[in-house]
Amino acid sequence: MPSIAVWGYGLAAAAHVVFALYLLGGWRGGRAGGVLLLAVCCGALWAAGSALLAWAPAPWLTRVVGALEILRVASWFLFLLVLLQPLHGDKGRWARRAAVLVVVALALPVLLPADAFGLEPALLGKLALGAFMGSAVFGMVLVEQLFRSLPADARWALKPLCLGLVAGWMFELYFFADGVLFARPDIDVWSVRGVVHTLVIPLVAMSAARNPSWTLRISVSREVVFHSTALAVAGGYLLVIAAAGYYVRFVGGDWGRALQMTLLFAGLLLLGVLAGSGATRARLRVLLNKHLFPYRYDYRTEWLRFTQALAAADEGLDLGQSVIKALSDLVESPGGILWLRDAEGRYVPHSRLNTPGCDAEEPADGRLCRFLAEREWVIDLEEFRVHRTRYGDLALPEWLLTLEDAWLVIPLRSANTLTGFVVLNAARVPFEIDWEVLDLLKTAQRQAASYLARMQVTEALIEARKFDAFNRMSAFVVHDLKNLVAQLSLMLKNAERHRDNPEFQQDMLETVAHVESRMRALMAQLQEKRSIDAVRAVDVVAVLQRIVGARRARLPRPQLLAAPAAAIEVMAHAERLERVLGHLVQNALDATPESGNVTLKLHEADDAFVDIEVADTGCGMSPAFIRERLSRPFQTTKEGGMGLGVYETAQYLRELGGSVEYDSEEGRGTRVRVRLPRRQRAAPGALAVPPAAME
């Protein structure tokens, strides 16, 4: 099979040359690395000579190839002896002497002419084959001595090398033993020797990468290993499917060809499904990282990928979703939910990825947030359920324990402050959480937390700039108002003298019309800011009655249900309270068709608070809009609105010590509950003002 031999040895020569160049580029002067480079170069020369011999056989070329093979064997012996020297020291002299004797025994029958011994060429050929068979046995003995001499914790680094060399020499032993038995080498076996020694190179390269003491800067890329392994597995799978297809074709009779095509199509379809499966890729990645590399992660690649995901959101993901994806990719999780701290100190859901929504909120002083802020531990919920004592006195909230597919809780700390936390879903494949994973997650979460904290600061700065722009606009509006007031003042000043003058009357009407038009335009741009007066007792029943009365001409007409006969006083600013409550009623009217209903109810919750409920049957709001946009400034869906009404309402009620809550459903309406602190009847000499109002 000259063509097979040429291609096989040619492939071996090319592979050895590429590996030699790679070693030469990574060699830093170490003795072991230099000898390994020598052995690979000798292998390249031997493979090239064998390919030439298979292409154009010649007696002189046979002798040259024999000499090159002796050099190849001797260089591998030298490499193993260099590795054995630190382990055996002076006791390894027997191995060095034996190696010299084996090389001499190889050289005598191969290099010297037959008449030098007075032997027949056939007998000399048998001696050469026997010498090479003995060299294979001696090589396996050296590998066995090396592996046994290594400490148990150091065998991992040399295991691929030992396995590859033993496999190669076992093949050599079979080849030369067969040649001695039948008095000639088997041409078919000789033709594939090049392919066999090519298959050993990846194992040698793996050991070179695992042994920096050889002073070889060799690194096997995880991505290359992953894609190469996936390609090899796919190729093997296709070969099996093809073989099965041909078998079905030949034994299937009349249906054989149809069954073959069906089987091939089903095999290709299954391969496509497996290749596109995230779980399959995750299993292969975990398998390779576990068995082929000393560490689970390629930290350079992981850190570049993680930083890139945070620096620029891609595929339509916002920063929060990018953080979830970056963290989940480290542990083969499909997604999760991110909680961030809001302006009120609560941790609320901010983003989610490949998981249903969750509306659960966590207070900053809760046990979970305190534990994450103080310990900075990654909480494994499976471990927590089985070994709860490992987490001390930590008590997780019920919503977290019952959250579907929840697996890991990762804190996000920046500048010793808990910015938020991420709850990741269960991994696609069984994934062990060890010290390496925890350290990587701990480092990654700090990076992610710094990005999220910067995002929150940027958003706060943007809102501050919006308020600054609003204040600048107010200055211009005040300037315009001053001019309008000046016009009115001048008109009033002249009215005493010219009020009976028809021309003055006409001019006065035009001036009033202009001022009225201008003031309406200004009022459309400016919203009155909060009062600086102190709070006082306000009859909330009277306030609600005025609000309803002022809007009786509107449809639907707002109704005050079950209004108490007696006054109910709260501590507030009368005009500002009427404005914010009127804003809520106006929003309800704007969202409700004329055939709907808008109602107001007043409840005395207890001795400390009063509840006001504004309900409508209008268009309603989605939970996402309430959670993400409703209470934020400059967020509005009204045409011409400023987006400050709901924001000012929440701020003002919080200043009073009250609160506002929204319960809404799209298509069914909205229910707003306002809680206000009641005026407390103080003892003589005490102030009837709640503490919140004194701030």
pLDDT-derived band at 577, boundaries 50, 70, 90:
confident
In terms of average pLDDT, the best of 179-183, 385-389, 520-524 is 385-389
Kindly report, residue by residue over 13-39, the tens digit of the pLDDT.
999 998 888 888 777 778 888 888 899
Instruction: Quote the pLDDT of residue 71.
Output: 92
Which amino acid appears at position 76 of this protein?
A: W
Instruction: Quote the pLDDT of residue 6.
Output: 87
**Longest Cα pair distance anywhere in the chain, in angstroms?**
153
Residue 438 has pLDDT above 70, yes or no: yes
Instruction: Quote the pLDDT of residue 234.
Output: 61
Per-residue burial over 618-653, b if 16 or more Cβ lie within 10 Å, else e, is bbbbeeeebbeebbebeebeeeeebbbbbbbbbebb
Instruction: Quote the pLDDT of residue 298.
Output: 59
Residue 695 has pLDDT above 50, yes or no: no
- Tell me the mean pLDDT in the region 352-380: 90
Residue 637 has pLDDT above 80, yes or no: no
Spatial separation of the C-alpha atoms in residues 583 and 470, rounded to whole Å = 20
Kindly report, residue by residue over 74-129, the tens digit of the pLDDT.
999 998 888 888 776 655 677 788 888 888 888 877 776 655 555 566 667 777 88
Residue 64 has pLDDT above 60, yes or no: yes
Which carries the bigger pLDDT value, residue 196 or residue 647? 196
What is the CATH code of the structural domain delimited by 2-219?
1.20.1070
Kindly report, residue by residue over 651-692, the tens digit of the pLDDT.
788 888 888 888 988 888 999 999 998 887 554 444 444 444
Instruction: Quote the pLDDT of residue 406.
Output: 93
Residue 45 has pLDDT above 90, yes or no: yes
pTM more than 0.85? no
6 to each of 9, 67, 195, 199, how far by Cα in Å? 5, 19, 11, 17
Tokens of 659: 């609160």
- Tell me the mean pLDDT in the region 628-644: 60
Q: Hey, which residues does 347 pair with through a beta bridge? A: 341, 362
Instruction: Quote the pLDDT of residue 638.
Output: 57
Residue 41 has pLDDT above 90, yes or no: yes
Q: Are 341 and 415 in contact (CB under 8 A)?
A: no
Pairing of strands 598-603, 559-561: parallel
Spatial separation of the C-alpha atoms in residues 92 and 116, rounded to whole Å = 34
> If you average pLDDT over every residue of the chain, what do you get?
78
How many other CB atoms are there within 10 angstroms of residue 237's CB atom?
16
Tokens of 247: 């078998």
- Tell me the mean pLDDT in the region 600-612: 85
Spatial separation of the C-alpha atoms in residues 616 and 556, rounded to whole Å = 10
Spatial separation of the C-alpha atoms in residues 189 and 540, rounded to whole Å = 102
Q: What are the backbone angles phi and psi of residue 639, rounded to the nearest 5°?
A: -70, 120
Residue 288 has pLDDT above 60, yes or no: no
Tokens of 677: 């602190």
How many other CB atoms are there within 10 angstroms of residue 28's CB atom?
11
pLDDT-derived band at 146, boundaries 50, 70, 90:
confident
In terms of average pLDDT, the best of 126-135, 285-294, 321-330, 460-469 is 321-330
Spatial separation of the C-alpha atoms in residues 407 and 414, rounded to whole Å = 23
Residue 286 has pLDDT above 60, yes or no: no
Q: Are 672 and 602 in contact (CB under 8 A)?
A: no
Residue 179 has pLDDT above 90, yes or no: no
Listed range (267-276, 397-406, 547-556, 570-579) with the worst mean pLDDT: 267-276
Which amino acid appears at position 187 of this protein?
A: I
Residue 640 has pLDDT above 60, yes or no: no
Kindly report, residue by residue over 296-326, the tens digit of the pLDDT.
555 566 666 777 767 655 556 788 888 898 8
Instruction: Quote the pLDDT of residue 202.
Output: 86
Instruction: Quote the pLDDT of residue 397.
Output: 92
Q: What are the backbone angles phi and psi of residue 85, rounded to the nearest 5°?
A: -60, -45
3-state secondary structure 77-135: HHHHHHHHHHHHHHHHHHHHHHHHHHHHHHHHHHHCCHHHCCCCHHHHHHHHHHHHHHH
Pairing of strands 379-380, 417-425: unpaired
Residue whose entry in the numeric block shows the structure tokens 């390496």: 436
Instruction: Quote the pLDDT of residue 42.
Output: 93
Instruction: Quote the pLDDT of residue 691.
Output: 41
Instruction: Quote the pLDDT of residue 460.
Output: 77
Residue 412 has pLDDT above 90, yes or no: yes
In terms of average pLDDT, the best of 255-269, 281-295, 361-375 is 361-375
Kindly report, residue by residue over 213-239, the tens digit of the pLDDT.
776 555 555 555 555 555 556 656 666
pLDDT-derived band at 473, boundaries 50, 70, 90:
low
Spatial separation of the C-alpha atoms in residues 385 and 503, rounded to whole Å = 90
Query: Hey, CA dihedral for 508, 511, 517, 523, is it positive or negative?
Result: negative
Type and span of the H or E element at 559: strand 559-561
CATH class of the domain defined by 299-458: alpha beta
Residue 462 has pLDDT above 60, yes or no: yes
Q: Are 239 and 200 in contact (CB under 8 A)?
A: no
CATH superfamily of 536-694: Histidine kinase-like ATPase, C-terminal domain (3.30.565.10)
